[in-house]
Chains A and B, each alone.
Chain A
């Protein structure tokens, strides 16, 4: 697999990762598994938009956290886990962006094309698979970020609200530049 160069716009930067993992990966993965199964149960029609790409593996790379997410959106064999940065597993496509930008995409507050135009979202690999994933995730009424937060009750919702405020401030800072 070709190396995946970092963007000059994206990256952890000299100060290290902006968002530290709340848990070691081996503790995080059961939570991620629970999340993806819940989303799948809540939105069974979502997978139709993926067509053959439901079998593809996507590497989701929040560049400012120390791990990446590995997703196979196949309702028959769902897989969603955190993976280390050193040896990324084989994947059809990689989607890179800052954590808060990826979060606002999942919160349906951001337009993926707009993030792509501003170069805040980087796509490599199978473009068609990424477009299908984007369309599938976009065709749900309740934002996925909100559904995930709801799983964790009031603390989850409080965390999402805090992240939303952080995303809004980051957006304002970007607009002021």
Chain B
């Protein structure tokens, strides 16, 4: 076996305060985006102004932490200028990499900012050696963020065949739908996750409570779930909705269940597989979440690298629906 390479811990930040929490908790890199459609967490009240980004990059670099900027949506026809402006801004501010999904954005970085690292977003959904080699060859991609549909064994085999780094999700929202190709929210809200950066925008979400304590989640004009008085809840996304269908009795989670990925127990396997970076999802979450999750995984990764049994903090309270899974990392039949 080759000597283990210590994976970078890539942590989320939706606000400057969350970024500072991530840096202070031991993040190797923080990923964050601007307050516009160029990033796939384009939620109201979230993200960074150019001035906040500049100050945050300075803070991160002083703490030895990299900043990766998410430009990971797909520009609609005629609107690519905004993405180019954000690339130029990121280069000017000294970002360490841009995380991109769209080939036009990648080509713009390649041609205009050859020193800028390009990380291929999970939104690009590249998972085969051929697809990844294409991105590396044509755009100089340095790292690919893998979709959450691969087992550890598949990741290990993939790493033997590709000429770039690999980043895998280890905690947070479990979006098993192939990101970048999911249009569910568009059908209901008219806004696109992939082009507007907003899955289930809050303006389209309503929670209705009934006298018995149950709660209905309404997205647009549709009820997508109803939680009993004692049931835990999940995010208001269609992929996590519960539906009635002829083949099932009662409500049925047709796509996915409200559950979070937690790969704590699989960290040693992922490290020996050669994964270069571990990603924590959650730019929409609070700095309390960032602080707790980053600190927990910092300690776990450091323990493993020191040859010790990792101490795995109990993070169940922070998971969606207070349920967690190792997902496809362990088995394709995880449900």
A and B: interacting chains? yes
**Smallest beta-carbon distance B10→chain A, Å:** 19
Chain A contacts of B319 at CB under 8 A?
114, 117
Within 8 A of B (CB), among A82-115: 108-114
Chain B contacts of A152 at CB under 8 A?
none
Most buried by B among A114, A122, A130: A114
Whether B286 and A112, one on each chain, are in contact in the complex, defined by CB atoms closer than 8 angstroms, is yes
Whether A132 and B322, one on each chain, are in contact in the complex, defined by CB atoms closer than 8 angstroms, is no
Whether B318 and A9, one on each chain, are in contact in the complex, defined by CB atoms closer than 8 angstroms, is no
Once the chains are docked, how many angstroms separate the CA of A89 from the CA of B205? Answer: 23
Judge if A136 is at the interface, Cβ distance under 8 Å: yes
Contact of B288 among A108, A116, A140 (CB under 8 A): A108
Contact of B232 among A112, A117, A124, A138 (CB under 8 A): A117
Within 8 A of A (CB), among B278-305: 284-289, 292
Judge if B210 is at the interface, Cβ distance under 8 Å: yes
Within 8 A of A (CB), among B14-39: 14-18, 20
**Smallest beta-carbon distance A164→chain B, Å:** 14
Once the chains are docked, how many angstroms separate the CA of A159 from the CA of B311? Answer: 34
Whether A117 and B322, one on each chain, are in contact in the complex, defined by CB atoms closer than 8 angstroms, is yes
B193-221 near A? 1/0 per residue, CB < 8 Å:
00000000111011111111101000000
Chain B contacts of A132 at CB under 8 A?
44-45
Chain B contacts of A50 at CB under 8 A?
45
Chain B contacts of A116 at CB under 8 A?
233
Whether A141 and B20, one on each chain, are in contact in the complex, defined by CB atoms closer than 8 angstroms, is yes
Whether B45 and A127, one on each chain, are in contact in the complex, defined by CB atoms closer than 8 angstroms, is no
Chain A contacts of B207 at CB under 8 A?
122-124, 127
Whether A8 and B230, one on each chain, are in contact in the complex, defined by CB atoms closer than 8 angstroms, is yes
Whether A111 and B45, one on each chain, are in contact in the complex, defined by CB atoms closer than 8 angstroms, is no
Judge if B317 is at the interface, Cβ distance under 8 Å: yes
Contact of A117 among B205, B209, B233 (CB under 8 A): B233
Q: Which of under 10, 10 to 19, 20 to 34, or 35 or more describes the interface residues of A? A: 35 or more
**Smallest beta-carbon distance A135→chain B, Å:** 3
A155-177 near B? 1/0 per residue, CB < 8 Å:
00000000000000000000100
**Smallest beta-carbon distance B14→chain A, Å:** 7
**Smallest beta-carbon distance A159→chain B, Å:** 21
Chain B contacts of A7 at CB under 8 A?
209, 213, 229
List the B residue with the shortest CB-CB distance to A174.
B317
Q: How many B residues, CB 8 Å from partner? A: 45
**Smallest beta-carbon distance A68→chain B, Å:** 16
Judge if B57 is at the interface, Cβ distance under 8 Å: no
Once the chains are docked, how many angstroms separate the CA of A105 from the CA of B73? Answer: 31
Whether B288 and A111, one on each chain, are in contact in the complex, defined by CB atoms closer than 8 angstroms, is yes
Whether A114 and B318, one on each chain, are in contact in the complex, defined by CB atoms closer than 8 angstroms, is yes
Contact of B285 among A5, A113, A119, A140 (CB under 8 A): A113
Whether B45 and A51, one on each chain, are in contact in the complex, defined by CB atoms closer than 8 angstroms, is yes
Whether B202 and A111, one on each chain, are in contact in the complex, defined by CB atoms closer than 8 angstroms, is no
Judge if B243 is at the interface, Cβ distance under 8 Å: no
Most buried by B among A117, A122, A123, A141: A117
B137-172 near A? 1/0 per residue, CB < 8 Å:
000000000000000000000000000000000000
**Smallest beta-carbon distance A115→chain B, Å:** 9
B32-58 near A? 1/0 per residue, CB < 8 Å:
000000000001111001000000000
Chain B contacts of A130 at CB under 8 A?
202
Whether A113 and B206, one on each chain, are in contact in the complex, defined by CB atoms closer than 8 angstroms, is no
Judge if A150 is at the interface, Cβ distance under 8 Å: no
Known: A8-B229, A117-B233, A119-B233. A127 touches B286 (CB 8 A): no
Judge if A81 is at the interface, Cβ distance under 8 Å: no
**Smallest beta-carbon distance A56→chain B, Å:** 12
Within 8 A of A (CB), among B49-96: 49
Judge if B231 is at the interface, Cβ distance under 8 Å: yes
Contact of B287 among A4, A118, A131, A138 (CB under 8 A): A138
29 intermolecular pairs with C-beta atoms under 8 Å apart: A7-B213, A8-B213, A8-B229, A8-B230, A49-B45, A51-B44, A108-B286, A110-B286, A111-B285, A111-B289, A111-B292, A112-B286, A113-B286, A113-B289, A113-B320, A116-B233, A118-B232, A119-B229, A122-B209, A124-B208, A127-B203, A128-B44, A128-B203, A131-B202, A135-B14, A135-B15, A135-B46, A138-B15, A139-B15
List chain B positions with a Cβ less than 8 A from chain A: 14-18, 20, 43-46, 49, 201-203, 205-213, 215, 227, 229-234, 258, 284-289, 292, 317-322
Q: A8-B213, A9-B213, A139-B15 are in contact. List 18 more A-B contacts (CB 8 A).
A: A5-B210, A8-B212, A48-B49, A51-B45, A111-B289, A113-B320, A114-B289, A118-B317, A122-B207, A122-B209, A128-B202, A131-B45, A131-B202, A134-B286, A135-B44, A136-B45, A138-B286, A141-B17
